[in-house]
Chain A
Amino acid sequence: MDLAVRDARQHLGKFLATTVGVGLLVAIVLIMNGIFRGNIADGLWLASHSGADLWVVQRDRGGPFNESSRIPEDLKHSVQATPGVARADPFISYGVQRELAGEERQFTIVGYEVFGGMGGPDRITAGRPIRATHYEVVANVDLGLSVGDSIHLGIHDYTVVGLTDQGVDTGGNPVLYLALPDAQRVLYRIDNRAREAQEARDRDRLAEAGYRGAEAERLLALLGDSTSTISAVLVELAPAAGPSRVAAHIEDWLYQSVYSTAEQRALLMQGRLQSMTAVLGVFRSLLIGVAIVIIALLLYVLTLDKLRAIATLKLMGAGNWVIVRLTLEQSLVITVASFGLAYGLVLAIKDDFPRRLVLLPADTATTFAILFVGGVLASLVGIRKALRTPPAAALAG
């Protein structure tokens, strides 16, 4: 006869309430697992999907994702000429907040060489890739745009020619892909009124320095903002080329910093993702702890409720295992049911969750194992109380 189930049936309300409560806590833990893995996947996505072997960035910068990196676009030619380099493509990436489809959105603009260059979208799910150097974009579907939509960026309008279900920046924001010249214009080109104001300031500075008239106008043209700046040059190595040798060559001769894709990933993990890992780890531990305390508390209260029944069982000659099983089984039922509820809940909301959730079987199994062990530990409080109950208590009036 299963005493634990019979007892639970009589206290069904308490058990269900506890199972739901613990289940919600466990769901939060699973969601945190998912956010954590999702953040790592998002954070590394651009670095991992560019197809580059090496990243050439501004000297002593951890860019282009950890910090800003600005290098002249024509550096790509020098990199291309480096021994061991099969190919060098310009790449630009920067986060913006703009109005899209009537809504303020945070996203990242990625500019790449659209005629076969590295760093573009991996997979087009609707429409087509960018085929012109101007006024076409491919958008992540999360931006809520449709093929054929027109969007205004900077001082021009752009047409959405394709959609991709991939492409997120290190913060998980969706990516909008543009041809490199367009991306540079959106980033660096200012409108006419701003340009006039800038020219007025430059003219004043030239006048202060003694330049006036035709000479000042000639110099003014040279002071104008150049848009020929990129974030990085993506390098594909020639077969059998040693990445460290090529990197050393670029660092020594072109005076830039070079990272392999693996180093980019490591930089991201150590920088942006490390503190998040620690914070999420602490929260997950706390939530599991709270769940275990709740289970322990319920089992202790239920044990107190049935101390007389336990004493009677002992007096009737029931072995310790009968008493232990009564509490342990209830703990494990709550643990397993809570986990099942939590897992089902997370699967149900996963696709509509505001952040990307990546549920790895290993994380899920580890969480279950920790909760299971926690459930066993939680039952110890009740078991201890039950085992210490003297059979004589059954005779007490």
Chain B
Amino acid sequence: MTPPAPQGPGSGEPAAETILTVTGVDKVFGSGELAVTALRDVSFAVQPGELMALLGPSGSGKSTLLLCVSLVEEPTAGTITIGGTTLYDGGWTGLDLRAFRRRNIGFIFQGSNLIPFLSARENIELALELNRVPRSRARKRAGELLDYLEIGHRAEALPAAMSGGEQQRVAIGRALANEPPLILADEPTASLDTERGFRVMGLLKDIARDSRSAVIAVTHDERMIEGFDTIRRLADGRLTEDAAGPRASGEGKGG
């Protein structure tokens, strides 16, 4: 199944160029004797439609890297370029980071992080409305995404009334709403049982294949990364491994 075509500002032909380029990124918290280096000279690139797993033990710097790529945490050194736009080059380049994030990055969280007082449909509509998509179009697009994610019948349910798997599907719908070129997933299966976890990861693979969005999924569960294009590992702030997954070796990389 293909994600429905977007109708908002984020729509358009997927970029053929590299989606994300991270070069020589360092991140140091504190200073002097109290300085803690969270990331050391991290470099990698992600292509359109690529499904990348980021593995690492607790405290390895996964979250910090995700926050830097999310344009939330300012690195100490290096460059970050998303969709050809350099956002960080030894300092923020002065772009409106919130607006950029709104249009170009979708987020999927560990515990779905749906807005608890909005229904499934409204959670997806919100992502579109923040991006100034007219309400009627946002409503139509939300309905299409819910149908695509096979939870159209739960459109008016509040998160508290949905199962963990349903919530995570809504969260995926929200991340896809503006069809951002980059989707960041932070432990998307952590709060799900194994079966639902596999289903969510399957959805992410479909999205990467069908929508050409690059997906970076942080996880600690290696069973879940089967079929990922790229597997990168972080240890003590260093990217120590860069392995090609089965899709990368020709088992069905989308495109």
A10 to B126, CA, bound (A): 17
B45 to chain A: which residues have CB within 8 Å? none
Smallest CB separation, B148 vs chain A (Å): 20
Smallest CB separation, B33 vs chain A (Å): 25
Query: Which of A10, A312, A313 gathers the greatest number of chain B CB atoms within 10 Å?
Result: A312
Whether the pair B117, A9 counts as a contact (CB closer than 8 A) is: yes
Kindly identify, within residues 312 to 330 of chain A, every residue whose CB is under 8 Å from any CB belonging to chain B. 312-319, 322
Kindly identify, within residues 87 to 143 of chain B, every residue whose CB is under 8 Å from any CB belonging to chain A. 98-103, 107, 109-111, 113, 115-118, 122, 125-127, 129-131, 135
Smallest CB separation, A333 vs chain B (Å): 14
Whether the pair A394, B98 counts as a contact (CB closer than 8 A) is: no
Query: Which applies to chain A's interface (DSSP): helix, strand, loop or mixed?
Result: helix
Question: Is there a chain B Cβ closer than 8 Å to A73's Cβ?
Answer: no
Whether the pair A392, B125 counts as a contact (CB closer than 8 A) is: no
A397 to B110, CA, bound (A): 7
Query: Which of A6, A308, A394, A395 gathers the greatest number of chain B CB atoms within 10 Å?
Result: A395
Whether the pair A316, B102 counts as a contact (CB closer than 8 A) is: yes
Whether the pair A10, B117 counts as a contact (CB closer than 8 A) is: yes
B100 to chain A: which residues have CB within 8 Å? 317
**CB-defined interface of A297-310 with B at 8 Å, one 1/0 digit per residue?**
00000000010110
A314 to B72, CA, bound (A): 9
Smallest CB separation, B146 vs chain A (Å): 16
B125 to chain A: which residues have CB within 8 Å? 1
Smallest CB separation, B234 vs chain A (Å): 15
Question: Who on chain B is nearest to A4 by CB?
Answer: B117
Whether the pair A3, B115 counts as a contact (CB closer than 8 A) is: yes
Q: Which residues of A contact B (CB under 8 A)?
A: 1, 3, 6-7, 9-11, 306, 308-309, 312-319, 322, 390-392, 394-395, 397
Question: Who on chain B is nearest to A10 by CB?
Answer: B117
Contact A322 B107, CB 8 Å, known A312-B115, A317-B99: no
Whether the pair B187, A1 counts as a contact (CB closer than 8 A) is: no
Smallest CB separation, B226 vs chain A (Å): 23
User: Which one, A309, A314, A317, contacts B115 given CB within 8 A?
Assistant: A309
Query: Which of B72, B73, B99, B111 gathers the greatest number of chain A CB atoms within 10 Å?
Result: B72
Contact A312 B72, CB 8 Å, known A317-B99, A318-B98: no
Whether the pair B116, A316 counts as a contact (CB closer than 8 A) is: no
